[in-house]
């Protein structure tokens, strides 16, 4: 009889324990997640049409910054620092020309910035980021569209670490920032492609 009573008691206690554990875990899962961007995997690529024939391409970075994602609430914040003086197209003479005051103006404005507080989610996946891009001291609205986004877990110092990242695209008119050299022979419309990975704090 004692064994029967003990068995019945365990049948009552086990569901209670499971419910308590689920309640304890729920707030942690719903908490906002903060990530620090990995400079080894975060860069900006750009493309612009050259004399209507070929496409000029280059890369800027590494980019540093922080990301806050609250998947449960469908909110997020992003802050990027983009060192435009690191521009690289593969041709040093062309890189030097791009740094001049009528284009990137890297001496006066060595960094560009992107700050966003509006992130649109589909489920738990961010699909669009809206914020302000500041380049050459001029701030303009800019939207990043998600091409892909995913998370994985790695082990660092014996502990699991979540890493999230993806590819994003945007488009801007360089003339709105005062970079007008070469128009209309060199395109005004600039395509941006951003690769980013962040490690959860």
pLDDT at residue 17 tops 90: no
* Cβ–Cβ < 8 Å for 57, 46: yes
pLDDT at 16: 41
Residue 176's pLDDT band, with cuts at 50, 70 and 90, is very high
Beta bridge mates, 33: 69
In this structure, are residues 89 and 69 in contact, taking their beta carbons and an 8 Å threshold? no
Closest by CA position to 165, among listed 150, 153, 147, 154: 150
Given a cut of 60, whether residue 28 has pLDDT beyond it is no
Q: What pLDDT shows up at residue 104?
A: 97
pTM of the predicted model as reported, rounded to 2 decimal places: 0.81
Least confident of 17-21, 87-91, 163-167, 174-178: 17-21
Instruction: Give the CB-side neighbour count of residue 135, counting CA atoms within 13 A.
Output: 22
Closest of 69, 86, 88 to residue 78, by C-alpha = 69
Tell me the average pLDDT across 114-140: 96
CATH number given to 31-200: 2.40.128.110
| Domain residue spans of the chain | 1-29, 31-200
pLDDT tier at 168 (50, 70, 90 boundaries)? very high
Question: Which tokens go with 137?
Answer: 């001291």
- Cβ 144 vs Cβ 194: under 8 Å: yes
- The answer to whether the CB of 46 falls within 8 A of the CB of 192 is yes
Residue 3 has pLDDT above 50, yes or no: no
């Amino acid at each position: 009889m004692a064994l029967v009573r003990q068995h019945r008691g365990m049948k009552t206690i086990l569901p209670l324990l499971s419910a308590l554990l689920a309640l304890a875990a729920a707030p942690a899962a719903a908490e906002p997640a903060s990530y620090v961007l990995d400079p080894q995997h975060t860069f900006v690529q750009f493309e612009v049409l050259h004399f209507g024939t070929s496409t000029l391409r280059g890369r800027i970075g590494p980019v540093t910054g922080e990301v806050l994602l609250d998947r449960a609430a469908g909110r997020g914040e992003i802050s990027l620092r983009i060192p435009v003086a690191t521009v690289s197209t593969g041709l040093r003479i062309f890189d030097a020309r791009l740094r001049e005051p009528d284009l990137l103006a890297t001496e006066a404005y060595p960094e560009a910035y992107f700050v966003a507080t509006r992130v649109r989610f589909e489920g738990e996946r961010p699909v669009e980021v809206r914020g302000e891009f500041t380049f050459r001291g001029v701030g303009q609205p800019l939207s990043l569209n998600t091409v892909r986004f995913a998370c994985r877990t790695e082990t660092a110092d014996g502990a699991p670490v979540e890493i999230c990242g993806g590819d994003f695209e945007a488009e801007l008119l360089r003339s709105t920032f005062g970079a007008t050299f070469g128009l209309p022979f060199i395109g005004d419309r600039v395509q941006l492609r951003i690769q980013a990975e962040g490690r959860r704090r």
